[in-house]
Amino acid sequence: MKLLVVIVNYRVTHLAIDCLHSVAKEIASVPDTHVAICENGSGDDSAKIIQRAIDDNGWSSWCTLTALDVNLGFTGGNNAILRPALQSPNKPQYFLLLNSDTIVRPNAFKALVDFMDNNPKVGIAGSRLEDPDGTPQRSAFRFQSPLGELEGSLKIGPVSRLLSRWIVAPPVVDHAFETDWVAGASMIIRRETVEATGLLDEGYFTYFDDIDYCFNAKKRGWPSWYVPASRVVHLVGQSTGVNSKPKRLPSYLLEARRRHFLKNYGAFYAAMVDICRIAGLSLWRLRVLLTGKEDTTPPQHLSDSIRHSVFLKGFKVTDVKNPALTS
């Protein structure tokens, strides 16, 4: 198999089917492509609806459905497809993780596969994500750092210019380049990279898994690249409720963040990151109170960041609790 496209659906079945409609137009662009969709324990009739769409549209020759009883998050849902694929006699050359809340533009798959074919030392490549009107979203990033967290929390022009080297989400560019990590909404991974790095870390549940994966792949000699020739519409945060409108961040996101820094950088670095983030958010909050500036941060962001910091939650690397199993 040349390419295995993995789509995980959780309570956005209509979007997942829209995604499959766009994928259907691109199947022929990369011969020997298969799509595996995982219905990730939505707890309703989603599996039946998706299977009916596959049958009614004649997609069964290239698309199969796996249904889980419990939501295992982005990591567990993808691994439910990746694990057996790696053990099959016809192992895919490439895996493409594609969000269910996406619409692929023409040649999005071909652009990624061609890039990987022409650059055999690249382990991971990410698409240009964009709004439906074509406005680009920032989807190529630097790894988080204490100064990057300070800049992102404080959001003051002179500070941002001073700390420009550490900005996590730099401005969008129109050419391919090596980057620290790419968004997991549309991310192609070479099979050898998966074999060297392993499956997604299910200890994250959802969020920070793409950062963690790119980080650990890079440690093993497999860098990540941004490939804007591959364009994918991303309807941000539809399955998790975290999108461009300020909403309180779920605890599993903040716990995934803490896990990432402790696991990959150690206790001292994690503490420095938390100090800088809390300091930046505190100064931002003071600025809002003094100037009346609109507060664009999520509700209770400062208090939640303190509550989920290593200083209150501890310095031990722990798994993020699956809310589907703890509710």
Instruction: Provide the whole-model pTM.
Output: 0.94
Confidence (pLDDT) at 326: 67
Average pLDDT, the chain: 95
pLDDT in tens, 231-286: 999 998 555 444 556 789 999 999 999 999 999 999 999 999 999 999 999 999 99
Confidence (pLDDT) at 327: 54
- Second-level CATH architecture of 3-137+172-234: Alpha-Beta Complex (3.90)
Confidence (pLDDT) at 236: 81
State the average pLDDT over residues 83-89. Answer: 97
State the average pLDDT over residues 99-111. Answer: 98
State the average pLDDT over residues 205-214. Answer: 96
pLDDT in tens, 33-79: 999 999 999 999 999 999 999 999 999 999 999 999 999 999 999 99
pLDDT in tens, 137-186: 999 999 999 999 999 999 889 999 999 999 999 999 999 999 999 999 99
Confidence (pLDDT) at 323: 85
Cα 157 to Cα 84, 146, 198, 297: the distances in Å are: 49, 18, 40, 16
Structural domain boundaries in the chain: 3-137+172-234, 144-167+245-327
Alpha helices, DSSP H, located in the chain: 13-24, 46-56, 73-87, 108-118, 146-154, 157-162, 191-197, 209-219, 251-265, 267-291, 301-307, 310-313, 323-326
Q: Which long-range contacts (CB under 8 A, 24 or more apart) does 301-304 make?
A: 301/248, 301/249, 302/278, 304/248, 304/249, 304/251, 304/254
Confidence (pLDDT) at 242: 47
Count Cβ neighbours within 10 Å for each residue of 16-26 and write b for 16 or more, e otherwise.
Answer: bbbbbebbbeb
